[in-house]
Chain A
Amino acid sequence: MPDGQSPILQGTLDLMVLKTLEQLGPLHGYGIARRIEQVGERALIVNQGTVYLCLVRLVQKKWITAQWGASENNRKAKFYSITRAGRAQLKAETENWARISGVIGRVLQLAGPRSA
């Protein structure tokens, strides 16, 4: 693994995909993967294949829907959009993430080496 790159934390890909769809509206799989890579500024390794597995899961949960359409280059592609249930889930997950990451941040700050 190249220096400075981290794998995506387990369970966070769903959150990122939902957020991307909420922000940018309907997108195809490649677009979603590219967007996450761009936002991650190459610090995150996104296996594009796993994005598709994530999309299958989210469709099953009815948090997103899929529809065939035409890409900007007029190619056929499957477009995903976030549903109302997906937005509600995203909101809940975002709050949860903020709370947990805050707690972890505070714990890590406190747990520095004890001064003599």
Chain B
Amino acid sequence: MKAFLHTIVARLLGFLRPKDFDPDFDRELEAHLAVAAEDKIQRSMSPEQARRMARMELGGLAQLREAARAARGLPWLGGFWLDVKLGLRMLRKSWGLTLVGGLAMAVAIGLGTSVFAIWNALVGTTLPLADGDRVVAIQPWDAATQTAHRDTPLADFRRWRDVLRSVTDIGATRRTERNLITPDGPAGRVSVAEMSASGFQLARVQPLLGRPLIQDDERSGAEPVVVIGHDLWQSGFSADAAVLGRRLQLDGTFHAVVGVMPQDFAFPVNQRIWTTLRSNPLDYAQDQEPEVFVFARLAPGVTLDGAQAEVTTIGMLPPDAVAEANEHLQPRVVPYAAGVFTDVPSNRWIGGLIFFLVALLLVPPCANIAILVYARTVTRAEEFAARYALGASRGRIVLQIFVEVLVLAAAAGIAGFLFARQFAGQLSRIVLPGSGPQNAPFWMDFSPSFKTVLWAAGLVVLAAAIAGGVPALQATGRRRQAGLQSLRTRGTGMRLGKTWTALLALQVALSLAVLPSALEMTWGIFRPSILGPEFAIEEFLTGWLMMEGSDTSRFGNLQAEVVGQLETQPGLSGMTVSAAAVMEEPQADIEVEGSEAAASQAAINHVDDVFFDLFDARFLAGRGFDAGDFEPGRTTVIVNRSFVEEVVSDGNPLGRRVRYGPRGDGGPVSEARVWYEIVGVVDDFPSNNDRPMMYHPMAPGTMHPVSLALRVGSAAGPVARRLQQIARALDPALRVGRLRSLGEIYWQRKSVDNMVGLVLAAVMLIVLLFSMAGMYALMAFTVAQRWREIGLRSALGAPPRRLVAGIFGRALVPLAAGAVSGGLMALLIESNVQITRAGGRNIPGVLPASAALMIVVGLFALIGPARRALRVDPAEALRDG
């Protein structure tokens, strides 16, 4: 082992300072020859003969020097470095391939790495807590549907807590949304963790001030207490050192602050406010017990399998003991992060399968690059033939081509990796709503991990193997070798081959097939940003109005008072009240009476009588809400244009009836399954938003809290201050929260969409560039192949136009076949796929436009080879032959 290490060090030194050893070795060889010759002279040889003999016995000096150099350094690394340099030179020379191939590989590697980074950040990681790898979740597993349920009935949690011995600190939590009001700071909807006291024991994090929740707080009748995070302590209590004992309100209930947690603490997922979880059955009405997320720490010495064995034995309560329990449910123990994100496959095999599929993303771009590399390799026949003649093996040449592409893939890999680092957070927000940077789980970390770097490096090597290795093996195959070795002249022995030509034709077909849909999708995504909201969105200010305390009976009057007093404020040209802020409306499942379509989704809002006027919404059909619609018990609704297009779609929307889906998501529970009649259709606003909306009438004072929208023009600051003043003066319990510009909400939403659009546009551009590069390769080949013929025809006086038509006519046949079949496929896709459902937008005449675009792309690909064909010098071409 020691000798091995010595060798490594010596070879590294030799590699880094190759020149240091050569003079010494040369002197040694000279000394050898001199000593050997003297020895032979002493044995009565003539000096001449002795010197010759000494040389012969030693062998070739140059080879010996080379061999010694190889023995002293790292010869394979030296060769590799040479290939890298060659690769860099080729990248500069074939800049088209570099640009197209590099971009395509960067996108594929970037996406592949992002998926890995997201997975790794969500479930492939351990919690940043003491012994975080031993923290687990216990949750029901439905054997029938093979799905995990995140939450467990409270009754099961109580039983597990009492009997399980393989885990400690077993606790439960549930996330609730509450209206928060603090003495000094923001009021609004916040996410609150109702958590058993054992959660703090498990996390083993000391509070900054005060104490964590304790078991006594869970007792029925105990005073409501709350532990708050560092940020809320700063903003809501002005970092008051005597905060302990002060109170805040959650949904009108006062809670005494008993502790402040450090800034980074966000257990169980991303919460910064903790209240006690009541687990006593007496605290809940019958059948009203909530479901909870159960967590625990593995007891010392117990493995995950050990805990699973005990949990399986204990099982879950029989169905009759727990409402809606299921006989297929079996509890299972999983790593904590995997338990939170049940939708993300944490199983190693499934994870592996996903990564395999992600790696497959590399195949289309790499196959395209392979075509181009193959074409380039064949055109470099002379270079490789020369290398064969100088003794290079086929393996050496394949390695050279592989390394050339590896250089490209590595550059693309670095770009892809940086992309993943930058955008994995945003991508995760798209893939898994609720896991983005703003509300990311506390263990989620997108900083580049060793595993992610390794994964990206693996993708780079795979990309180089597909794009460089495969064509290199093909182009230097046995049949080719003969051609290469014989150093034939230009134009003969070169064939692109049927497979590669067919692939090129297929490429053109697929590009044309997806181009119209891709254009419509991209347009659908970018349209709202390009055309804008089409109303002065920046002129609007939005915020919440709500009451402290559980008594909200005065809210209606106060709300009317606020509206009345604010109307005279200079700069304010109007205001409206709704249940949800514009563009932040909750989604709900919707069914349309008599419609065969399955339940669709729509966003829901409850609005006052001036709502549509204030936003200058245009009525397309029917009417707005009249005074009668605001009477209690009336069931009229107004929908928007997108609702009609996507949800009603068939027939006249006016008079049609709609209701919430069985789950009633988003809709108030009491309204579930009531039929509502559509009385008006309003144009989308913000325009180009393409989001189905349904509006209910809302009489003043019937809902609490409410969202205010104020048309303030450029007077946002003064109006906001005035609003706060009025609210404070009217009633100390009246609060205004989260005042923001509507533009801020709008552009925040659009930024995510735009990123998806950018990726899509990049992919589309790459597909087109590949088509162009493929066509170019085919045409360039044709010119090289028919070099002599072109020269001959040119010498015989063929006019340029006929010359070009004659040369490219035959080569264009497969491409034309590809284009025609691609066009047919596009037609089929256009007529069968409703692009608007996927977020796209129909573009009139998209098919002919796509065809025209492909023709332009094809012509661009043709220009270079055509010019080269016309410049063929007949004399030179005939001499070459």
Q: Which residues from chain A sit less than 8 Å from chain B, CB to CB?
A: 28-31, 33-34, 47-50, 52-53, 56-57, 59-63, 71, 73, 75-78, 85, 89
Do the beta carbons of A30 and B68 come within 8 Å of each other?
A: no
Chain B 712-763 interface residues, beta-carbon cutoff 8 Å to A: none
Residues of A within 8 A of B25 (CB): 52
Do the beta carbons of A57 and B32 come within 8 Å of each other?
A: no
Given contacts A52-B68, A60-B11, contact A29 B32 (CB under 8 A): yes
Report the bound CA distance from A56 to B28 in whole Å. Answer: 12
Report the bound CA distance from A102 to B59 in whole Å. Answer: 35
Do the beta carbons of A30 and B72 come within 8 Å of each other?
A: no
Most chain A CB within 10 A, of B34, B35, B36, is at B35
Residues of A within 8 A of B31 (CB): 28, 71, 75-78
Shortest distance from the beta carbon of B528 to any chain A beta carbon, whole Å:
68
Report the bound CA distance from A60 to B447 in whole Å. Answer: 42
Report the interface size class on chain B: 20 to 34
Report the bound CA distance from A63 to B71 in whole Å. Answer: 16
Report the bound CA distance from A76 to B28 in whole Å. Answer: 9
User: Does chain A have a CB within 8 A of B498?
Assistant: no
Shortest distance from the beta carbon of B234 to any chain A beta carbon, whole Å:
63
User: Does chain A have a CB within 8 A of B3?
Assistant: yes
Residues of A within 8 A of B10 (CB): 59-60
User: Does chain A have a CB within 8 A of B492?
Assistant: no
User: Does chain A have a CB within 8 A of B2?
Assistant: yes
Task: Among A30, A53, A56, A63, point to the contact of B36 (Cβ < 8 A).
Answer: A30
Q: What are 17 A-to-B residue pairs whose CB atoms are below 8 Å?
A: A28-B32, A30-B35, A34-B39, A48-B32, A49-B58, A53-B64, A56-B68, A56-B71, A60-B10, A60-B72, A71-B31, A73-B38, A75-B31, A77-B35, A78-B27, A78-B28, A85-B2
Given contacts A49-B64, A52-B28, A53-B67, contact A61 B7 (CB under 8 A): yes
Shortest distance from the beta carbon of B51 to any chain A beta carbon, whole Å:
14
Chain B 1-44 interface residues, beta-carbon cutoff 8 Å to A: 2-3, 6-7, 10-11, 25, 27-29, 31-32, 34-36, 38-39
User: Does chain A have a CB within 8 A of B57?
Assistant: yes
Q: For residue B64, which residue of chain A has the nearest CB?
A: A49
Residues of B within 8 A of A61 (CB): 3, 6-7
Chain B 207-244 interface residues, beta-carbon cutoff 8 Å to A: none
Do the beta carbons of A53 and B71 come within 8 Å of each other?
A: yes
Shortest distance from the beta carbon of A49 to any chain B beta carbon, whole Å:
4
Do the beta carbons of B67 and A28 come within 8 Å of each other?
A: no
Do the beta carbons of A75 and B34 come within 8 Å of each other?
A: yes
Do the beta carbons of A62 and B71 come within 8 Å of each other?
A: no
Report the bound CA distance from A28 to B7 in whole Å. Answer: 22
Do the beta carbons of B59 and A49 come within 8 Å of each other?
A: yes
Do the beta carbons of B7 and A60 come within 8 Å of each other?
A: yes
Do the beta carbons of A53 and B68 come within 8 Å of each other?
A: yes
Report the bound CA distance from A60 to B8 in whole Å. Answer: 8
Do the beta carbons of B59 and A47 come within 8 Å of each other?
A: yes
Per-position binary interface string of chain B over residues 770-795, scored 1 when its CB falls under 8 Å from any chain A CB and 0 otherwise: 00000000000000000000000000
Report the bound CA distance from A50 to B121 in whole Å. Answer: 56
Residues of A within 8 A of B32 (CB): 28-30, 48, 52, 77
Residues of A within 8 A of B38 (CB): 73, 75
Residues of B within 8 A of A47 (CB): 59
Q: Which residues from chain B sit less than 8 Å from chain A, CB to CB?
A: 2-3, 6-7, 10-11, 25, 27-29, 31-32, 34-36, 38-39, 57-60, 63-64, 67-68, 71-72
Residues of B within 8 A of A34 (CB): 39
Do the beta carbons of B72 and A56 come within 8 Å of each other?
A: yes
Shortest distance from the beta carbon of A66 to any chain B beta carbon, whole Å:
9
Shortest distance from the beta carbon of B719 to any chain A beta carbon, whole Å:
82
Do the beta carbons of A85 and B3 come within 8 Å of each other?
A: yes
Shortest distance from the beta carbon of B243 to any chain A beta carbon, whole Å:
69
Residues of A within 8 A of B71 (CB): 53, 56-57
Report the bound CA distance from A89 to B57 in whole Å. Answer: 29
Do the beta carbons of B6 and A30 come within 8 Å of each other?
A: no
Task: Among B6, B34, B36, B57, point to the contact of A62 (Cβ < 8 A).
Answer: B6
Q: For residue A63, which residue of chain B has the nearest CB?
A: B3
Shortest distance from the beta carbon of B3 to any chain A beta carbon, whole Å:
4
Residues of B within 8 A of A62 (CB): 2-3, 6
Residues of A within 8 A of B68 (CB): 52-53, 56
The 7 closest A-B CB pairs, nearest first, are A49-B59, A60-B10, A61-B3, A49-B64, A77-B31, A60-B7, A30-B35
Shortest distance from the beta carbon of B27 to any chain A beta carbon, whole Å:
8
Q: For residue A72, which residue of chain B has the nearest CB?
A: B35
Do the beta carbons of B3 and A48 come within 8 Å of each other?
A: no
Residues of B within 8 A of A75 (CB): 31, 34-35, 38
Do the beta carbons of B35 and A73 come within 8 Å of each other?
A: yes
Most chain A CB within 10 A, of B3, B10, B63, is at B3
Residues of B within 8 A of A29 (CB): 28, 32
Residues of A within 8 A of B39 (CB): 30, 34
Residues of A within 8 A of B35 (CB): 28, 30-31, 71, 73, 75, 77
Residues of A within 8 A of B3 (CB): 61-63, 85, 89
Q: For residue B69, which residue of chain A has the nearest CB?
A: A56
Report the bound CA distance from A61 to B72 in whole Å. Answer: 11
Task: Among A28, A52, A60, point to the contact of B6 (Cβ < 8 A).
Answer: A60
Shortest distance from the beta carbon of A86 to any chain B beta carbon, whole Å:
10
Q: Apart from A28-B35, A49-B59, what 19 extra A-B contacts exist at CB < 8 Å?
A: A29-B28, A29-B32, A34-B39, A47-B59, A48-B32, A48-B57, A49-B58, A52-B32, A53-B67, A56-B71, A60-B6, A60-B72, A62-B2, A62-B3, A75-B31, A75-B38, A77-B35, A85-B3, A89-B3
